[in-house]
Amino acid sequence: MKNRLKVLRAERDWSQQDLAEQLGVSRQSVNAIETGRYDPSLPLAFRIAGLFALPIEQIFEPEEDVAGRD
């Protein structure tokens, strides 16, 4: 899954550690999500969306092959 987490974080001038602390997760988690190595659970995705005050689909979007199945 692709995401705009790094851009959104940079817009607010937050470090990965800053974001991790606000989400209550490790910096490694933020890094793994940002780099697309790990897709967060739905509850964590909602926490991220709530923090940035954006709908989930404006932060995360499925890869093209997954989106094309519908």
* Contact set with other proteins (CB under 8 A): 17, 20-21, 23-29, 31-33, 35, 37-38, 40-41, 44
Closer residue to other proteins, CB minimum distance, 33 or 70:
33
Angle at 53 between CA 47 and CA 54, to 5 degrees: 90
Distances (CA, A) of 15 to 9, 26, 34: 7, 12, 12
Closer residue to other proteins, CB minimum distance, 49 or 68:
49
Is residue 46 within 8 Å of 32, Cβ to Cβ?
A: no
Closer residue to other proteins, CB minimum distance, 8 or 33:
33
- Closest distance of CB 35 from other proteins, Å: 7
